[in-house]
Amino acid sequence: MFKISGATLSLLLFISCNSNNKYILSVKRTDKQQLTIDSVSIPLPEHAFYQYFTFSVAEIAGSTFFIGYNSNNVSLDIFNLDKPSFVKHILLSESPLFSNLDRKDLDKSKSVADITLISFDSIFINLSNKRMLLIDSSFHVKQDIDLSTTRGTNSRESYGMPVTYSHACKMTRSASGILMEQIFNDMPVKRPSFVLLSMKDTSLQSLPLYHSDYFYDKKGNMGMLGQVNVAEAQKDSFLTYNFTYESNIYQYNYRTQYVTAYGGKSTLSKNLVKPLVPEEVKEEMEWRIHLIENSQFFPVMYDKYKHLYYRFHLKEIDYKNGKYFNSVLDKELVLMAFNEDFELVYEEVLPGKRYASYSWFVTPKGLYISPTHKKNENADGTVLKFHILKIQP
């Protein structure tokens, strides 16, 4: 574990002597806990969908609600997970703001990039990383911010383009505003990775948080695996974040402005992505092969009910397997769980070709995940189904 002073932007790195790599922090293993699995299924009404990748979850009036973006219907679909039941469609298609979107939801610059449910009176929509909308469940637009017009609070700093994506860097709300990633044209020059968007005056405030040393030492050449990860489920007064290209976990204290780095080292996979230098790439397929043959770490989620942290990652796999060529869909999914001190309490490979990546979230009942892997022949398109993973002694 090491700490970084965000206020002075200096890095004080103390690597555990047990680490075999100067970039990777080791992790203490404690008593192993067990995994149990329950499930919930909600019959789908007309125009609803069985799989959502842009979604948000919140507790409202004692119940847990799920809201997902339905690109086919251009709507936000709301479900009660505790009843369980469908609640309503919010028809975004009724507004000209949501015309001409990518109905396949492949191009997030022409789609709903992210949503955050706070209450039925406060639903944030990041539209194409161009506009930030605040609406209610009756689709009254309460605020509309053009993200291209936002300005930083410090005139001596340069600011990037504020963006969020539901599957990776999820927008989360703090006391100071909406957390967003900022993208610069001159990457991998070392610049702050996050900004807070004030909904009061639309200003941007940078946080003194950066990519890891490994990213900058390798000039950002992480192939398709150079993302910042932030989950919706966060501990109060803290921001827990990580990167797709390494196993380390970072936690920023909003009050003290210090970052603590923890070891999230896996025993079941590699813990660093191998660099891929663009100038050395001869064929487009090399980018995909690099993605297949390296681990991919997903956002760290905090479970305030069990006082645990969860993280999924995909194991690396050989692209060529005899006469067969593997794809990303053939990679195994690993679940890791840590206690409040980031000691590892659980690590196992989940059943293959069952769960869809980016389809997980935390509720009072446990860790939800969608069994809708593209190669899962048992996936049921008539219901919204989740498995509920529970880790306990």
Quick one: pLDDT band at residue 3, thresholds 50, 70, 90? low
Identify the pLDDT of residue 30: 86
Look at residue 10 and tell me whether its pLDDT is greater than 70: no
Closest listed residue to residue 193, CA positions, set 160, 226, 219, 155:
160
Look at residue 18 and tell me whether its pLDDT is greater than 70: no
Please answer whether residues 174 and 150 qualify as being in contact, where contact means their C-beta atoms are separated by less than 8 angstroms: no
Closest listed residue to residue 155, CA positions, set 94, 206, 102:
206
Kindly state the average pLDDT of the residues 330-356. 97
Identify the pLDDT of residue 1: 67
CATH number at residue 339: 2.120.10.30
The answer to whether position 1 is within a domain reads no
Calpha distance 164→315 (Å, rounded): 25
Look at residue 339 and tell me whether its pLDDT is greater than 50: yes
Quick one: pLDDT band at residue 9, thresholds 50, 70, 90? very low
- Least confident among 138-152, 155-169, 247-261, 283-297: 155-169
pLDDT tens, residue by residue, 101-132: 999 999 999 999 999 999 999 999 999 999 99
What mean pLDDT, rounded, does the chain reach?
A: 93
For residue 153, the tally of other CB atoms under 10 A from its CB is 14
For residue 11, list its beta bridge partners. Answer: 4
Instruction: Report the SS3 class of residue 338.
Output: strand
Higher per-residue pLDDT: 157 or 349? 349
| DSSP single-letter state for residue 222 | B
pLDDT tens, residue by residue, 189-244: 899 999 999 999 999 999 999 999 999 999 999 999 999 999 999 999 999 999 99
Identify the pLDDT of residue 271: 98
Kindly state the average pLDDT of the residues 61-75. 98
Nearest 10 degrees: Cα torsion 122, 123, 127, 130: 30
The order of strands in the sheet holding 112-119 is 112-119, 122-127, 131-135, 141-146
pLDDT tens, residue by residue, 268-309: 999 999 999 999 999 999 999 999 999 999 999 999 999 999
The answer to whether position 27 is within a domain reads no
Share of the chain above pLDDT 70, in %: 95
Kindly state the average pLDDT of the residues 252-274. 97
- Least confident among 153-167, 169-183, 201-215, 280-294: 153-167
The answer to whether position 14 is within a domain reads no
The answer to whether position 6 is within a domain reads no
Look at residue 170 and tell me whether its pLDDT is greater than 90: yes
Range of the domain at 384: 34-392
Look at residue 255 and tell me whether its pLDDT is greater than 70: yes
Identify the pLDDT of residue 5: 54
The answer to whether position 194 is within a domain reads yes
Identify the pLDDT of residue 8: 39
| DSSP single-letter state for residue 331 | S
E strand or H helix that includes residue 88:
strand 85-91
The answer to whether position 18 is within a domain reads no
The answer to whether position 121 is within a domain reads yes
Total domain count for the chain?
A: 1
| DSSP single-letter state for residue 380 | -
Look at residue 11 and tell me whether its pLDDT is greater than 60: no
Quick one: pLDDT band at residue 17, thresholds 50, 70, 90? very low
Calpha distance 332→355 (Å, rounded): 10
> Any alpha helices (H) in the chain, and if so which ranges?
213-217, 285-292
Kindly state the average pLDDT of the residues 253-275. 97
Kindly state the average pLDDT of the residues 42-62. 97
Written in H, E and C, the secondary structure of 224-273 is CCCCEEECCCCCCCEEEEEECCECCEEEEECCCCEEEEECCCCCCCCCEC
Identify the pLDDT of residue 14: 36
Quick one: pLDDT band at residue 185, thresholds 50, 70, 90? confident
Quick one: pLDDT band at residue 7, thresholds 50, 70, 90? very low
The answer to whether position 10 is within a domain reads no
